Amino acid sequence: MEHDRGGPPLPLPRGALSRGVEAYLRGAGRLPRREEIDRARVYGDDLQLALYLCYEPHYRGFAGVDPELEWDPDLLRTRAALEHRFLAALRADARVHGSVAEALRGLLVEPVHGTGVTYFLRDEGELWQVREYAAQRSLYHLKEADPHAWVLPRLWGRAKAAMAAVEFDEWGGGRADRVHARLFADLMTDLGLDPTYGRYLDAATAEALVTVNLMSLLGLHRALRGALVGHFATVEITSSPGSRRLAEAMRRTGAGPAAEHFYDEHVEADAVHEQVVRHDVIGGLLEGEPHLAPDVAFGIAATEFVEDRFGARLLTDWRASHSSLYAPLAHEVTHIS
């Protein structure tokens, strides 16, 4: 069997579930049983890392892991059991919106006195907290726009064209140096972080894993295409004002020009994307498939829910002067993989 060589190393397990999945990926053990999955904390480190391990073969894979395992039936059955618990919890815990319009209205209102992570970093965050935020977010930003691309074959007409246009911007408009994942790697270099893909997986919290796993869950299932569009809308609508605050945080803390540029780029680009997503992606989807409206609203609510959990975890740790990471950050700049 030919094994992937270019992916990141497998992370350290965080319990029986992730240990079993990791062992299976290495060809050295059994997958966890359904009863073990049913007993685990759904938003906890072990289940979320196990699910992340199941998803990553669909992206760049792991070093030393057979790429054929991407479609291994036993691994897919385990992934399905993990997803069942995750999706059921999200449907139970996320807010229920009465309509897509109601859900969107909540996103479009900016509070006068915000209390989230981007407000904290803008107003009082220190450079070490900016670095931790970037390390945690690297799990997504180094694959930015990729989870959303899976929905493209499942759309048509106006929704498909608009979604493709926004994704094209996210991938640099055809220019490798402007791909947003590359811009984030440059941000990390400014911050003295290692921009290698997957470098901070061992350091990232369960709450960070949840935010990335949600994108993969929604992207990989055609049945959840409406929820994926809702997730995408939430990201794009909230990105411009949040990025403006983060750009100010980068300037205030002296993060560096590439760090500033990444968020300045999102302020401008995502202000345009927000209009396209609302009117053409969501509008086009629901024009052809109006029965997907509850799914779109769920995607918005689930995204808000997981992002609020992630933000609360960061702020709890930082306000107690504790690191939010499971491993300390070194000042380490290496090549970009």
Residue-wise pLDDT for 99-149, tens only, equals 999 999 988 877 767 889 999 999 999 999 999 999 999 999 999 999 999
Are the CB atoms for 245 and 118 separated by under 8 Å?
Answer: yes
pLDDT on residue 275: 85
| pTM, full prediction | 0.94
CB 318 within 8 A of CB 127: no
Tokens of 192: 């003295």
- The phi, psi pair for 284, rounded to 5°, reads -70, -40
pLDDT of residue 268: 75
Show the 3-state SS of the chain.
Answer: CCCCCCCCCCCCCCCHHHHHHHHHHCCCCCCCCHHHHHHCCCCCHHHHHHHHHHHHHHCCCCCCCCHHHHHCHHHHHHHHHHHHHHHHHHHHHCCCCCCHHHHHHHHHCCCCCCCCHHHHHHHCCCHHHHHHHHHHHHHHHCCCCHHHHCCHHHCCHHHHHHHHHHHHHHCHHHCHHHCHHHHHHHHHHHCCCCCCCCCCCCCCCHHHHHHHHHHHHHHCCHHHHHHHHHHHHHHHHHHHHHHHHHHHHHHHHCCCHHHHHHHHHHHHHHHHHHHHHHHHHHHHHHHHCHHHHHHHHHHHHHHHHHHHHHHHHHHHHHHCCCCCCCCCCCCCCCCCC
Please give the structure tokens belonging to residue 56: 């990553």
- Per-residue pLDDT at 4: 54
pLDDT, position 113:
76
pLDDT at 114: 83
Name the residue among 215, 211, 214, 219 with its Cα closest to residue 152: 219
**Res 334: pLDDT:** 46
Q: What is the pLDDT of residue 1?
A: 44
Which residue ranges in the chain fall short of pLDDT 50?
1, 334-337
Q: How confident is the model at residue 336, as a pLDDT? A: 41
Q: Give whole-number Cα distances, 116 to 63, 88, 98, 104, 245, in Å.
A: 36, 26, 25, 19, 11
Q: Which residue type occupies 200?
A: Y
